[in-house]
Chain A
């Protein structure tokens, strides 16, 4: 009896905390759909590559983030906001054409390495984004594209 009461109170406290943290300030990074310097709009990429980039990279590495409903609920909101901010800072495909050739080449080299070695897309992101998962063959396609696109920049 005593224990039942304890769990009831624990539940109430937990719910109250969840509700309370919703009041904390903090916003998700903004979304922008019109991006004149975007990688895909300025380069005629192979459809398969473009589709992979869109579904597996663009949520964090562009201004066109598709936020799921639960990303508005703290504490998930904090994690999503943090990852999106960090992702855009490391590489933002919406700003691709503003990058120098050497910065593009460094980015492409890292894209190949991180996708091939399965560091990207981040495993925690893949848990809730089934459509972003990549097969080994997809990963290799990205690796080869990055290499070839980088060489193309030197021509």
Chain B
């Protein structure tokens, strides 16, 4: 099953963004196996930081709406 981000419910979107945040943060994505033959796909520290920030902002903004 493939879903696109824009069709997800808010709750599921937050869940997916949180999952993205987690795997980028702990470095489990992109997978080390993949980077072995495509090292240029590795994320720089700056790229990592902007992905994390993007996920954070989108999550927090959607959680705050309820107040």
A residues with CB within 8 A of B: 101-103, 105-106, 108-110, 147, 150-151, 153-155
Contact = CB atoms under 8 A, between A and B. Distances in A.
Interface stretch (B11-19, B28-36, B40-48): B11-19
A155 B22 CA distance: 24
B66 interface: yes
Given A103-B18, A110-B19, A151-B9, 13 more contacts: A102-B14, A102-B59, A102-B63, A105-B11, A105-B18, A106-B19, A108-B11, A109-B15, A110-B15, A153-B11, A154-B14, A154-B65, A155-B66
A102 B15 CA distance: 7
B15 A106 contact: yes
A150 B63 contact: no
Contacts, number: 44
Interface residues of B, number: 16
A147 B12 CA distance: 8
A61 B13 CA distance: 24
Contacts of A105: 11, 14-15, 18
Contact of B18 (A102, A147, A155): A102
B50 interface: no
Contacts of B63: 101-102, 154
Contacts of B17: 102
Contact of B16 (A109, A151, A153, A154): A109
Given A101-B63, A106-B22, A154 B11 contact: yes
Contacts of A155: 66
Contacts of B65: 154
Contact of A109 (B11, B22, B59): B11
A34 to B, nearest CB: 29
A103 B17 CA distance: 10
A155 B67 CA distance: 8
24 contacts: A102-B14, A102-B15, A102-B17, A105-B14, A105-B15, A106-B14, A106-B18, A106-B19, A108-B11, A108-B15, A109-B16, A109-B19, A110-B15, A110-B19, A147-B9, A147-B12, A150-B12, A151-B9, A151-B10, A151-B11, A153-B11, A154-B63, A154-B66, A155-B66
